[in-house]
A and B are shown apart, each in its own frame.
Chain A
Amino acid sequence: MSQIVITVVVNVAGALAAGTPDHHIVMIDDNKAAGSLHEATDRLHTAVREGDTLVWVVTSLECETYAAITALSVPDDVCEVRRETYPDTAVTYWVGIVKKAVTAPVPYGLTFALGSSLYTLSTSPNCALIEAQPIVVSEAAE
């Protein structure tokens, strides 16, 4: 039961120009050692176990542009997600606890509010939660 952080780097200008966040987001998580796949792509497969806390964090590639996740289409029975706000700020993040072991990949997509666009933009459900593998290599930090 650990915390897994999924960082979503958004190219806001690119996504607004294309009309979709697909191919304009880069997702990275800190669980590569347990088997996460497709790091640094827009179709990250995050390795999770039952009880893990997942945190989705959004960063804009150009720091002056605005990007925030407004929805995650993760099934509630697998991981019920909610939006939280860092105290005393307007910066949000999403968090959820994995309710049950994931045996088959669970696909999900993300919906963003970008720039000053009145409409949210959604990705195709290319990301997924997958089953974590036992960590073979011990890290010196532990």
Chain B
Amino acid sequence: MQISIMLVVDNAAALATGTLDGHIYLIDNTQHLVGVDEVAGTPEKNVTHVIGTHDASGGQASEAILNWLSCGVSGPPSTLPRLFRHRNGEETFNARLAAAVQDAATPAALNKLFGKSGPFGQPHPVMLVQTLDGATVPLLGGVMTASGTAVHEASRDSINAFPPVVTNLYGPAVDDGVIYPALYGSPDPYTEGWYWSASVDTSKVGRHQYLVDVQIHQPEVNDDGRVVWMPRIFTMSAELEVVLQPQLNGFTGAYAGAVLPLPPCCGVQAVASDAEAACDSQTSCAGDML
């Protein structure tokens, strides 16, 4: 089964307090399968229940896959194309440029258009973002907030909308071979579509701890007086609870994927002509089977 784990991060609060405790919400789709009423999200409840199934004979029947997705608490929905802001910003810029060129009929207007002042003489707003390996990359178009507007300057809205990124999954659960995580891309704002996924060895029943490194960008003023968004790594502790349940047919409630054990009244005896006399233990079985 595929288990989605969504990490919603309050970036500004985490940066202000220096910890993710109370500022990250772990939401997954397994609570209701094990009858847990509380929704994961409070710090002491970062537990994902992994349902491993076994068939009626006790053999392991399926594995589970975990997928982690992260988003900022003020960010746009994850359904929005990752490059959306770049397209939108480019379109707006091109439209403005086209309109301005159309209006620039006189030399004075053209001078103003290509001069050092005015909207096109000024450099296009660029956010400088530093990656974990130290490179500084320009983020054209700014950070997209939930209302569809691109924000370039550092503010609580842009900090909270800047996508937090899971950079590592490690800890006892990985060391003990409970989960095998791998990176399939990244939700970085300057790359496209990566996320962490892990397969689970569901035979390892019990509670296992793992650690998640989350990268949150913090705007700082560098020596040149420019704002550079610096990566900060925060660590969160979470747990997996691996439980084993028999694999059941969801429609009938019977054991799925296995033939044995058969109830004693079913089988050859029920096919006999004197079916009524054949079954003397499970009273309803013969009649229903025929």
Contact = CB atoms under 8 A, between A and B. Distances in A.
Interface of A: 2-3, 5, 7, 9, 11, 13-14, 18, 23-24, 26, 28-30, 32-33, 39-42, 53, 55, 57-63, 84, 86-89, 91, 93, 95, 137, 139-142
Nearest to A24: B32
A60 B15 CA distance: 26
B155 to A, nearest CB: 8
B154 A91 contact: no
A42 B39 contact: yes
A5 B160 CA distance: 10
Interface stretch (B3-11, B132-140, B164-172): B3-11
B94 to A, nearest CB: 13
- 3 closest residue pairs by CB, A with B: A40-B41, A5-B146, A139-B16
Nearest to A40: B41
A12 to B, nearest CB: 9
Given A63-B78, A86-B76, A89-B81, A39 B41 contact: yes
Contacts of B78: 59-60, 63
Given A55-B147, A95-B147, A141 B29 contact: no
B159 interface: yes
Given A7-B8, A9-B8, A86-B84, A59 B39 contact: no
Q: For chain B, which range describes its interface: under 10, 10 to 19, 20 to 34, or 35 or more residues?
A: 35 or more
Given A7-B8, A24-B32, A87 B148 contact: yes
Contacts of A7: 8, 71, 73, 75, 77, 146
Nearest to B38: A41
Interface of B: 2, 4, 6, 8, 10, 12-13, 15-16, 25, 27-29, 32, 37, 39-42, 69, 71, 73-81, 84, 87-88, 91, 145-148, 154-157, 159-160, 218-219
Contacts of B77: 7, 57-59, 91, 93
Given A30-B73, A41-B41, A139-B156, 16 more contacts: A3-B74, A3-B157, A5-B74, A5-B145, A9-B27, A23-B32, A32-B10, A33-B13, A40-B25, A42-B39, A59-B77, A61-B6, A84-B148, A87-B148, A89-B84, A141-B219
A65 B12 CA distance: 29
A84 B77 CA distance: 13
23 contacts: A3-B145, A3-B146, A5-B74, A5-B160, A7-B71, A7-B146, A14-B32, A26-B27, A26-B39, A28-B8, A28-B41, A28-B73, A29-B73, A30-B74, A40-B25, A55-B146, A59-B77, A61-B4, A86-B80, A95-B147, A139-B15, A139-B156, A141-B218
Contacts of A11: 29, 32
A91 B75 CA distance: 14
